[in-house]
Amino acid sequence: MSTDTTRSAAPAVGGGTGDAPTATALEGRPGVPFARTFRAELRKMVDTRAGRWMVIVMAAVSVLILAGFVIWGPAEDASFHGLLELSTLPLALLLPIIGIMAATAEWSQRTGLVTFVLEPRRGRVVVAKALAALVLAAVVLAAAVAASAVANVVGGTGEWDLTAATGGGLTLALLIFTLQGVAFGLLFLNTPVAIVSVLVLPTVWSIASMAVSSLEDAARWLNLDLVTQPLFAGEMAGRDWAQLATSSAVWVLLPLAVGTYRVLHREVK
């Protein structure tokens, strides 16, 4: 709050009269309530053609795979769990892209000039984006669950064999992959580079660890694809959790931290 006693030494230009109305700032905490930032970020993810189609295509791919499996696949495997595993297979690959697009749009389209002016506390925008990506991933997953249930009733075995462990493991794994997308998006702030990295880097690492025997031990702790296998299967034991934690730390938390630091300190142009 500047008053006349603390008036700055800066030379004034315009409205030179001393008795001009003194404008004062609104009272209140800095920035915008988080709920509004979150709603805005969620909306931005689906209000463009690219964003909307991404979600539609993902749901459609799941449904198509299910339809194909029910028609041509081995009937005895078409239980609820089997169908759900199948329909979520493409999601592990596609959900990170939702995360990436959420993270990079502000920079690739330069909309950050508006977003970070409306909420200068960029960390909260990052959190809102990560949360919005996770919510969208959950919606897509719910669609896959619903489609699997329908497929099970229509053409499956009618067996409801999904345990809490497999259901929870599946959900957790997919959310981790989505968050990995957000992390890589923030790290590179460039959509194509982030997408290629998120798809290629883990594969390169897998191949490298298979080819070089000395890396095999490390890979068991640091390969996200490997350590999420028991998670998908719902067979997590003590050591599996530890391995999941280390892999997630390296492939999700580390890029998330570095990427967030970049966003917080980068000049928005």
Q: Which helix (H) or strand (E) holds 263?
A: helix 254-265
Candidate residues 4, 5, 22, 238; the one interacting with another protein per rule CB under 8 A:
22
Minimum distance of another protein from residue 190's CB (angstroms): 16
Binding mask 46-85 for another protein (x = CB under 8 A): -xxxx-----------------------------------
Structure tokens at 223: 């390969």
Is residue 211 a contact residue for another protein (CB under 8 A)?
A: no
**Residue whose CB is less far from another protein, 20 or 201:** 20
d(Cα 186, Cα 104) in Å, to the nearest integer?
6
Q: Does 43 bind another protein (CB under 8 A)?
A: yes
76 Rama class: left (phi>0) / alpha (psi -120 to 50) / beta: alpha
Q: Does 164 bind another protein (CB under 8 A)?
A: no
Number of residues that bind another protein (CB under 8 A): 53
Exposed e or buried b per residue across 231-250, where buried means at least 16 C-beta atoms within 10 angstroms of its C-beta: bbbbebeeebeebbebbbee
Which residue, 4 or 211, has its beta carbon nearer to another protein? Answer: 4
Q: Indicate whether 105 belongs to the interface with another protein (CB under 8 A).
A: yes
Single out the residue of 56, 60, 75, 118 in contact with another protein (rule: CB under 8 A): 118
Cβ atoms of residues 187 and 258 within 8 Å: yes
Distance CA 244, CA 250 (A): 10
